[in-house]
């Protein structure tokens, strides 16, 4: 009897004489697996019915982080706003009482790096990521998701160039500055208001940038301290004193508060960092994402994290905050061009920056007192 040999491609299989397609390189199987996992998590999340999260202050931020998710999935979001300082005390007190109430945290990065990770309050985020449009590196600035710790427990969702230098435009031409070293001109002595860098906040972030920049460093911080700065601890007071003309120049102020005053016609200008030789730092501001461990609604947390990292949610969050999403497919037209992150900018939010801050703190106490 004549034998026949059938040559098959890797994409087909004969079973009982029927030619059937099979997965090539596991693509179809992998696609089916993530979809099945997503459907399972969605079903369980809806049965949980609730998500509890801690997020940044401001109704605009709260609404961006809750309303679209609730509308899309029918899951209620309990939202507690905290600027950062109260997060560890709250969670520590609750856990001593045996209470595990929170699922997800959206915050600044220092809170997580310095307080929550050392106290083992957050879990690795990667196991929660399901959607290919979230996991694939091509969707993210820099070629992938940016985690800030070896355990991949803190993810940076947003980045932006910060404002550093501010002027009252009735008193100073913003074009007058081309370097931060221009602040050392004797004519500015006693005429600069700033946020106190000895506390956590915009002033500290600015001085950390000065300290980390190779062309400034500790010598520049010392020289700037000799300019008789007026350092305050209230963002609104600092911005208002600049806007009222009591000071012509400000450093390390609140961008969001400055922009809010500008919309009301107050004559304050954030000096475009693209005209400054040393540039300006990049920061996630309140764009850090973490998963609280022992979450009471684990499936709702997974669902929410995948939604929040989607193009849809990142667009909503970026527009509400004025931040720039780390997703490359999210539009940036809502923000001034100078806010778009530059690859060579000094980082003031990663582990190396936290280490530098520990060295900067004694210097700040040396030059400004305690």
Residue ranges per structural domain of the chain: 27-159+284-339, 163-280+353-368
What's the mean pLDDT when you consider all of the chain? 92
Here the tokens at position 62 are 């709260």
Tally Cβ neighbours within 10 Å of residue 125. 20
Is residue 20's pLDDT more than 80? no
Burial 253-283 (b: 16+ CB within 10 A, else e): bbbbbbeebbeeebbbbbbbbeebebbbbbb
Where is pLDDT greater, at 7 or 71?
A: 71
Phi, psi angles (nearest 5°) of residue 169: -70, -10
Question: How far apart (Å, rounded) are the C-alpha atoms in residues 236 and 261?
Answer: 10
Q: What does the pLDDT look like over 215-271, one tens digit per residue?
A: 999 999 999 999 999 999 999 999 999 999 999 999 999 998 999 999 999 999 999
Question: How far apart (Å, rounded) are the C-alpha atoms in residues 289 and 106?
Answer: 5
Question: How far apart (Å, rounded) are the C-alpha atoms in residues 304 and 74?
Answer: 12
User: What class is the 27-159+284-339 domain?
Assistant: alpha beta
| pLDDT band for position 83 (cuts 50, 70, 90) | confident
Say what the pLDDT of residue 200 is: 85
DSSP 347: B
| pLDDT band for position 301 (cuts 50, 70, 90) | very high
Q: What is the mean pLDDT of residues 93-121?
A: 96
Say what the pLDDT of residue 70 is: 98
Is residue 13's pLDDT more than 60? no
Kindly report the pTM of this predicted structure: 0.84
Question: How far apart (Å, rounded) are the C-alpha atoms in residues 340 and 162?
Answer: 9
Say what the pLDDT of residue 201 is: 86
The yes-or-no answer to whether 27-159+284-339 and 163-280+353-368 have a common fold is yes
Tally Cβ neighbours within 10 Å of residue 94. 13
Task: Report helix, strand or coil for 306.
Answer: helix
CATH of domain 163-280+353-368: 3.40.190.10
Angle between helix 59-73 and 298-308 (nearest 10): 110
Say what the pLDDT of residue 2 is: 39
Element (H, E) at 45: helix 27-48
Residue with tokens 């300082």: 85
Assess contact for 104 and 53: CB atoms under 8 A. Answer: yes
Question: How far apart (Å, rounded) are the C-alpha atoms in residues 134 and 74?
Answer: 21
């Amino acid at each position: 009897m004549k034998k026949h040999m059938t040559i098959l491609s890797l994409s087909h299989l004969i079973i009982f004489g029927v030619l059937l397609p099979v997965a090539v390189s596991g693509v179809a199987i992998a696609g089916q697996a993530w979809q099945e996992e997503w459907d399972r998590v969605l079903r369980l999340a809806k049965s949980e019915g609730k998500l509890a999260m801690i997020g940044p202050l401001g109704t605009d931020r709260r609404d961006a982080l809750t309303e679209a998710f609730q509308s899309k999935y029918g899951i209620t979001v309990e939202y507690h706003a905290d600027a950062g300082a109260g997060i560890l005390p709250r969670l520590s007190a609750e856990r001593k009482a045996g209470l595990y109430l929170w699922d997800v945290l959206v915050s600044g990065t220092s809170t997580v790096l310095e307080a929550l990770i050392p106290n083992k309050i957050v879990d690795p985020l990667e196991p929660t990521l399901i959607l290919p449009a979230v996991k694939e590196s091509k969707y993210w600035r820099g070629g992938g998701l940016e985690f800030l710790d070896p355990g991949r427990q803190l993810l940076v969702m947003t980045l932006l160039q910060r404002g550093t230098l501010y002027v009252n435009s009735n008193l100073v031409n913003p074009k007058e500055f081309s370097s931060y070293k221009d602040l050392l001109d004797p004519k500015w002595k006693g005429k600069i208001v700033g946020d106190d860098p000895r506390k956590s906040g915009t002033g500290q972030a600015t001085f950390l940038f000065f300290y980390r920049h190779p062309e400034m460093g500790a010598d520049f911080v010392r020289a700037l301290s000799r300019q008789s700065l007026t350092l305050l601890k209230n963002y609104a007071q600092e911005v208002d004193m600049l806007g009222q003309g009591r000071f012509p120049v400000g450093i390390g102020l609140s961008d969001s508060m400055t922009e809010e005053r500008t919309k009301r016609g107050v004559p304050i200008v954030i000096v475009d960092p693209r005209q400054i030789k040393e540039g300006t730092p990049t920061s996630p501001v309140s764009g850090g994402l973490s998963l609280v461990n022992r979450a009471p609604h684990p499936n709702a947390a997974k669902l929410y994290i995948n939604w929040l990292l989607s193009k849809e949610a990142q667009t909503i969050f970026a527009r509400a905050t004025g931040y720039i999403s780390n997703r490359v497919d999210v539009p940036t037209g809502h923000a001034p061009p100078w806010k778009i992150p530059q690859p060579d900018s000094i980082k003031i939010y990663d582990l190396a920056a936290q280490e530098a801050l520990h060295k900067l703190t004694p210097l700040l106490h040396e030059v400004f007192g305690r």
